[in-house]
Structure 1
Amino acid sequence: MAPALAAPVEGPLESVVFGPGDTIRGVAERYLRDADLWPQILELSGIASPADLRPGLALKVPVQQVAAADEALAFSLAAIQKATAEGARIFAPVEIGHAIENRDTAVERRGVGAWAEVVTFAGVATEFADRALEISVAQRDRAAEAVVSDAQGTVEGRAPDQPRWSRRATQDVLVEYERLRTLSASTAQVTFRDLSRLRLNPNSNAVIQRMRSDPLTGGEVTKVNLVNGDFYALLNQLGDRTSFEVAVPGIETATQSADFWIRHDEAGSRFANYDAPALEISRGGERISIGENEGAVLPSGGGAERTRVLAQTELAAPLDGAEIFTPDVTLAWQPAEGAEGYWLEIAADAGFNVMQASQWGVRDTSRQFDGLDPGDHYWRVSSLDRLGLPGVRSLSRHFRIVDDRTPPFVTLATPGEGEIVTVAEVAVTGEAEPGAEVSLNGAPVPVADDGAFSVTLAPAEGENVLRLAAVDRAGNRTERSRAFVYRPVGTVGIALDPALPRDAEGRLLSASPEFAVAGTSTAEAGASLRVVAADGSVAVQTLTDSGGAFHVTLPATEAGAAYRIEILAADRSVAGTLALAARRDATPPGIALDLPPRATANAWLEVTGAAEGAQTVTVNGSPARMDGDRFAATATLVPGTNGIEIVATDAVGNVAVKRVETTYDIDPPEIVAARADRPGGPAGPIEIVVEARDASGLRQAAPFVLSVGGVERRGFLRCDDTAGVCRETLPPEPGALVLVEVTVEDYAGNAARRQP
């Protein structure tokens, strides 16, 4: 049962004075033995940020609470370890799983300072661990000889009294003559009473043929029949097991080896032994002894071939113990001489009892795995030779997938926000999460093991902005910024309001005879300020406002004038100066239109042109698109005559207005009359006359087709828009005249056609 720790958790907080040389992480390490608990100290003390810490502040530290919580955590861990040692992961996986889950929750609640919850969850974890211990002890006393200790994918079994296959899960008990098989991408591990293990790889079928125990000697006899597929065995040499036999069709084995592999299929049988004791094989009266790191192939047609298995494969990446902050991992190893492929295994534990992947025949020397769960993973590789025998397993490596989405801690201690410094070198100090990479204005900053950092920089005169960034190993990023002012002794900075209008030469502009000048300075409020004209006379004298701001009014002429702003120190010496020039600009922008059509058949008109010096342009009250001095806007038209007003305004408020008209005309011209004759007689010239009228005016040329004695003549009439007449005279030519066709267009593009 869990210890009674509720009272200490509810006890008083201990008061600790923050000293001149202290850091908040140091206080947490000293009193709570965990530097990462500093946020809880600040929260309990009512302090918003580490930047607010000052020597002499009294901090409230949960010393009793943390001690009680840590004691409960240690008690629960001991209970879990004791149950696990008695086989709880095999015989009571649900209970031990709940114990671990509750303890993990207790650890998580510790990180946020929920001490009472830590004790509660740790107590629940201890109770589940105690229950798992009871179940495990009772299970070990049962008559069960073996259990399925790991089942990944589809694993099926069939007991002697069962007519068909059924699913097998972890912790299912196996009896004598029970069949067990794995399907594609599936593995199963059988654990015997002495903790010896047998791992069936994908597409394998085996029979647990015999499991016997001799009460007199304590010895045990186990026999497994491999029908097809492959498995490897890891036997417990420290137990009292006296015999472990493996049979494949037509072949018997007996061994004292604790580490071997066997495969059987239609082509024959393959054996590999990795232990010093030999693996003895018998077939048809022939006996073969396979020594350490040796293998043998027995084809189904007879004969045998012995060989040395390939040496241990060397793993490349990731390094052992690596922490990886993405769920996608690429495992890589060195190519092995003589290897035709590789066998890659990944497990959730160092003993490879909980298999996550088993891939046989990998051709490359790397393999990517996507979507791995957070937590610990172990992997190893064996080289496969030309006979299909796996070589000596590589040393296993461990990596951890870390799901870290919490930005790292980082704070700036000096300089203070808005602080005015007068020295040419400024110390930038602060504290960051240990292990995080820190940069200041893009440059890397060295960080001590405890997270403290200190660098010096030469500030620029005026305002300086520090941009601090911390990036942890998971790529999480925290940014902080801090602004301070560098004001050298005896120097005052002056700056004009950037919104003041200026010309291309930088001179201030005003549309009136006077212009207002606004700006800021680094002077204190109430400092003397004067504006000196080019002739040395003082044009204005005033005092700075709060924050060093100032406002003055000066005369402006079209020719322009030069001035100098001076701020005086207490001794009336000039502490800061700024030159400026100003001129009056009373000339409005010049508007030059790209000529619009006299008329259009469209309900809209694109108005374009140039407005030199304009800052904004509107067309019929709507803002135009600007590109330098060029402008463009779309005007919506109504039938008939439309007025278009263009208004251009420059930076100082001068306004220019231009008005134009255009006609929205969708009606074609009206042809009143059309004739072709010889007014001077039959031998005279031919004259074509067309009378027409249109609101938007006639275009200058009108095409015609004239038949003279059956021969067509084509040409253009010249139109007089004022008179409403289109006319053309042709040379004399005999024959009957027929005006076949004439087309008259207006300026909107509408056309009227006259035919006989």
Structure 2
Amino acid sequence: VTVREGQGPRDLAQEVLGEPDLWKEILKSNQLTSPSDLRPGMKLVIPVGAIKRSAIDVENARREIQTATDLGARLFAAEKIAQAIALNDEAVKERKGGNWENSSRLAIEARQMAEKSHLETLEKRNTTADAVVTDRSGTVQSREAAEMLWRDLSLYSKLFENSRVRTLSNSYAEISFQDASRIRLNENSQAVIQKMRVDLLSKERDSSVKLEKGAAFALLQTNQKKKKFNLNVPGVKTEINSKNFWVQKDDEATKIANYEGEIKLYSEDETIVIEENQGSRITAGGSVGQSKDLLKSVELLQPKNNAVLSQDTLLLQWNPVPQAQRYLLQVSADYSFKNIIINNENIISDSFLAKDMKDGAYYWTVAAIDKEGFPGPTSARGFFYVFSDTENPFLYVNHPREHDIFQSDTLHIIGETEANVRLFVNGDPVSLKEGSVFHLDHSLRDGINKISVKAVDIGGNETEIVRTVIYASNPEVLVEYDASMKQIQPKTFLARGRTLDLKGKTMSLSSVSVENQLTKNVSRTFADEAGNFQMSIQDIPESLSMFLTVLTPAGYKKEDTLWVQVSKQAPQIILDQIIPTISAEEALIINGTVANAVKLTCNGAEVIVVDEKFSHTLQLTPGTNVIKLIAIDDMDNECVIEHQVIQDTTPPELLDYDIVVKSTAVDDMVEVKVKAADSSGLRRTASVDLQAGDMISSGYLRYNAASQLYEGLFKLPRGKAGGIKLKTVVLEDYYGNQQAIHPN
């Protein structure tokens, strides 16, 4: 390939390889180190065949993965399809990195693994009635009928009849059945799969799900004629002839919203039909409310359908729906919404800022939720594609160099960048002539100047180069000493202890040196870009003269003679007692002595001092309290004491307990274990009352540090421990916070 006049590396990569981000591969293949090495007429060798072969292999793998997924591979061949997806992701990564052979190899392996998942799916889909967790986020747990404890559910975990599934806060789970029907549990929800049967001869399927609490969306595949699905609602018989509906259950009622087909509800008194885009409320007693219309569908505004976006932060907007209290937004990486990226049902405005969006295709929908909590029908699917051009554009500034000094107020900026970029100088856009080399004039102000040159490509990627230069038009050098330095008279300073913190302001980036006239030692520092300088002069005798010299970057000089006198005494604060780190009291009394001070403050409030003694009461608030005592003398010397006190007035919390009865020939031995927690530590014992019938037995539990439990053993007459329960346990922490808890 021959480089044409005005053709930059990104233009060349787009023309030959179809992807501008691969411009570095062109340089790498031709042993070039910078875009500026490209010259018109230069002959380049580009491995087009390997690059295109990699693209074809990656696309073939993607198609086979999609085919297997559509057949149900995430349900029936979850492990293999996950391996195929991971291999193809690696292939894409290698392709972007220019490792074409590795990319092709990985893509071929991904396609082969996807084909295996395809075959496994076809073999299994008609011989199993398992359900599978096909999508999850946050904390998702399950337990079988015979189990007492909940266990975490991983992606693609199998579920069976009588399996319970629950989601905790900020979590959701999608359960897919053999026929590709799906139920999506929202956060803080719990459901039981009551029936999940398949007749292998007739292929008839029968499923029943009971929502115990929370909310769920159901997407059923009703195109299979021999499919039955039942939603268990206490006191009501349901007949589901819908493939898309929503259910929510709490202690007071069950709500159902229907979006397609119809749902019939049979109670003792009447039959209610929930038509399309209607909802109904069923009380806990089984009373069925009349159907009501749902809110209208939402119209999506932006991004426009099929938009290609280059940023990873996107603003999603839609038209507001009258009477909507909030909105449900779902963003998925697939058309069927089996891989949801964003699931937010508490959006109160008509927009949402999606962050950290990775490259790929996305589908999104929005539904309006009314004041009773019924979600309306979802909007039409929106589609957009995120393709991030993450390569920063090439930019080089030849002139000026860092910290150059000029005596003219006009700066000539010379540099080079890529073609088709936007160029800015100190935020102002400048026009580029044809080609990538630029010559710009910029006005300087007296002193330090920061010159920012920024190139921005069409993908929004930026490269910025900042040069700091100095325009020195006036040879006069000024020095201003900081007002915080105590001056007895002009240029005669008072030092605290035997140290002087010399602070001031002069011309930016100047050299500042101080010579001790007694020892002839020299201390040096530099002013920063704002002209501020600071240095510490130590081991000062009672009186000292110093010689200060300021040398500017332009070579101008300023000299001063300074005098220093030492303040010998400093204030002191002596406390009568150590301030505790943790307290259960509402107020803290601080007593002590202060010497050589004219003022004492505690957390900014002045403290009364009588004959160098003080007593101060400070009100504490729950949590961390910062206590700062400051004593100041007439020279503004300070003595500071700072402590943190945590106020803990919260009694211990009962987490769990267990009672085990073991009978012997003559006695019933009752073993009691109690689990508690407290941030400041638990007392070694806890008193308990046990009740068995009319008999109450009292005693103490001892804290076992190894098991982190309170434990105790109680002896009762044989046969008296039946139905025994924990009546009362008194928990106390180290700071006296106590709570009597009655679990039963």
User: What's the TM-score, normalizing by structure 1?
Assistant: 0.55
Aligned residue among 232, 246, 270 for 1:261: 246
Change (3 A) 1:18 1:617: same
1:111 and 1:169 map into 2 onto residues whose CA distance is 31
Match of 1:205 among 191, 195, 210: 191
Q: Distance in 1 between matches of 2:557 and 2:279?
A: 99
Indicate which of 517, 526, 541 corresponds to 1:619.
517
CA displacement at 1:249 relative to structure 2: 0.8
- Using the alignment, how far apart are the partners of 1:27 and 1:241 within structure 2? 59
For 1:271 and 1:198, the matched residues in 2 are separated by 14
- For residues 436-476 of structure 1, give each alpha carbon's deviation from its aligned partner in whole angstroms, at most 9, with x where no partner exists: 5432564324689xx9779886799xxxx997421358875
Aligned match of 2:575:
none
Distance between the aligned counterparts of 1:455 and 1:257, measured in 2?
66
| 1:408 maps onto 2:392 in alignment | yes
Residue in 1 aligned with 2:374? 389
CA deviation vs aligned residue, 1:91-130 (integer Å, no higher than 9, x gap): 3333323322222222222233222222332233233323
Residue from 262, 274, 277 that aligns with 1:293? 277
CA distance in 2, matches of 1:427, 1:356: 47
**Displacement, 1:88?**
2.2
SS in 2 for 1:28: helix
User: Following TM superposition, by how much is the alpha carbon of 1:252 offset from its aligned partner in structure 2, in angstroms?
Assistant: 1.4
Contact 1:407 1:478 in 2 (8 A): no
Contact in 2 for aligned 1:91/1:171 (Cα 8 Å): no
Deviation at 1:283, TM superposition (A): 0.9
CA contact (8 A) 1:344 1:359 kept: yes
1: distance between equivalents of 2:173 and 2:500?
Answer: 80
Q: What does residue range 238-253 of structure 1 map to in structure 2 within 5 Å?
A: 238-253=223-238
Task: Report how far residue 59 of structure 1 moved.
Answer: 1.4
Q: CA RMSD in A?
A: 5.7
Please tell me whether residue 337 in structure 1 is matched to residue 337 in structure 2.
Answer: no
| Residues 322 and 53 (structure 1), Cα distance of their counterparts in 2 relative to 1, 3 Å cut | closer
| Residues 315, 352 of structure 2: 8 Å contact kept | yes
1:534 counterpart residue number: none
2:122 to 131, 137, 150: 137
- Once the two structures are superposed, residues 652-684 of structure 1 have per-residue CA deviations (whole angstroms, 9 ceiling, x without a partner) of 9999999x9x9xxxxxxxxxxxxxxxxxxxxxx
1:172 aligns with 2:70: no
SS in 1 for 2:165: strand
Confirm or deny that 1:354 pairs with 2:339.
Answer: yes
TM superposition shift of 1:334: 5.2
Give ranges in structure 1 of 5+ residues lacking alignment: 1-15, 418-425, 483-496, 505-591, 597-601, 608-614, 663-756
Task: Give the Cα–Cα distance (whole angstroms) in 2 for the partners of residues 89 and 399 of structure 1.
Answer: 24
Show the counterpart of 2:268.
Answer: 284
1:310 match: 295
**SS, match of residue 296 in structure 2:** coil
Alignment length, in residue pairs? 517
Q: How much has 1:331 moved relative to structure 2?
A: 6.2
Answer yes or no: is the 8 Å Cα contact 1:324–1:399 preserved in 2: no
What is the aligned partner in structure 1 of residue 622 from structure 2? none
Contact kept, 8 Å, 1:439 with 1:445, in 2: the verdict is: yes
Give 2:155's aligned amino acid.
T
Q: Report the alpha carbon displacement of residue 198 of structure 1 after superposing the two structures with TM.
A: 1.8
Tell me the equivalent position of 1:116.
101
Whether the 8 Å CA contact 1:185–1:358 is kept in 2: the answer is no
5+ residue gaps, structure 2: 402-411, 444-449, 478-488, 503-512, 566-744
Structure 1 residues 384-427: Cα deviation after superposition (integer angstroms, max 9, x where no partner): 324332222234556778887x551235799999xxxxxxxx99
Matches of 1:154 and 1:236 in 2, distance apart? 27
Q: Distance in 2 between matches of 1:66 and 1:616?
A: 65
Which residue of 1 is the match for residue 581 of structure 2?
none
Q: Determine the C-alpha separation between the residues in 2 that align with 1:55 and 1:656.
A: 57
Q: Residue in 2 aligned with 1:78?
A: 63
Q: Show the 5 A alignment for 1:427-466.
A: 432=418, 437-440=422-425, 442-445=427-430
SS of the counterpart of 1:278? strand
SS at match of 1:253: strand
Counterpart amino acid of residue 203 in structure 1: S
Alignment correspondent of 2:630: none
Q: Which residue in 2 is equivalent to 1:97?
A: 82
| Bigger-Rg structure (1/2) | 1
Pairing partner for 1:128 from 106, 113, 117: 113
Structure-1 separation of matches of 2:360 and 2:378: 23
- CA 370–606 in structure 1, closer or farther in 2 if over 3 Å, else same: closer
Instruction: Quote how far apart the aligned CAs of 1:323 are.
Output: 4.7
Question: In 2, distance between residues paired with 1:186 and 1:102?
Answer: 28
Specify whether residues 133 and 431 from structure 1 end up closer, same or farther in structure 2 by C-alpha distance, changes over 3 A only.
Answer: farther
1:229 counterpart residue number: 214
Distance change >3 Å, CA 50–CA 138, structure 1 → 2? same
Aligned amino acid, residue 298 of structure 1: I
Q: Distance in 2 between matches of 1:456 and 1:305?
A: 76
Amino acid at match of 1:281: L
Aligned match for 1:215, one of 201, 213, 216: 201
Q: Deviations over 1:203-236 (max 9, x none)?
A: 23233325344734x5544333334433221122
The aligned counterpart of 1:56 is: 41
Query: Distance in 1 between the 2:11 and 2:491 partners?
Result: 75
Q: Which one of the candidate residues 186, 192, 199 is aligned to 2:177?
A: 192
Structure 1 segment 604-753 matched on structure 2, within 5 A: 619-620=517-518, 621=520
The structure-2 alpha-carbon separation of the partners of 1:283 and 1:228, relative to structure 1 and needing over 3 Å to count, comes to: farther
Letter in 1 for 2:74: R
Tell me which residue corresponds to 1:4: none
Q: Does 1:148 align with 2:138?
A: no
Distance 1:367 1:389, change over 3 A: same
Give distance in 1, aligned partners of 2:331 and 2:491. 76
Q: Distance in 2 between matches of 1:654 and 1:177?
A: 89
Mapped to 2, the partners of 1:593 and 1:160 lie a distance apart of: 88
Which position in structure 2 is the counterpart of 1:34?
Answer: 19
Check the 8 A contact 1:253/1:282 in 2, yes or no: yes
The correspondence of residues 514-533 of structure 1 with structure 2, limited to 5 A, is: none
1:308 Cα deviation (Å)? 0.7
Q: How far is the alpha carbon of 1:57 from its aligned partner?
A: 2.4
How far did 1:259 drift? Answer: 1.4
Amino acid at match of 1:126: R
CA contact 1:51–1:411 (8 Å) conserved in 2: no
State the distance in 2 between where 1:656 and 1:261 align: 83
Q: 8 Å contact 1:206–1:228 — kept in the other structure?
A: no
Following the alignment from structure 1 to structure 2, what is the Cα–Cα distance between the partners of residues 190 and 605?
72
Secondary structure (helix, strand or coil) at the match of 1:226 reads strand
On the 8 A contact 2:368/2:377 being kept in 1, the answer is: yes
2:257 equivalent in structure 1 = 272
How far does residue 191 in structure 1 lie from its aligned partner after superposition?
Answer: 1.8
- Between the aligned residues of both structures, percent identity stands at 27
Superposition deviation, residue 280 in structure 1: 1.3
Amino acid aligned to 2:17? L
Per the alignment, do residues 77 and 622 of structure 1 end up closer, same or farther by CA in structure 2, a change over 3 Å counting? same
The corresponding residue for 1:87 is 72
Calculate the TM-score normalised by the size of structure 2.
Answer: 0.56
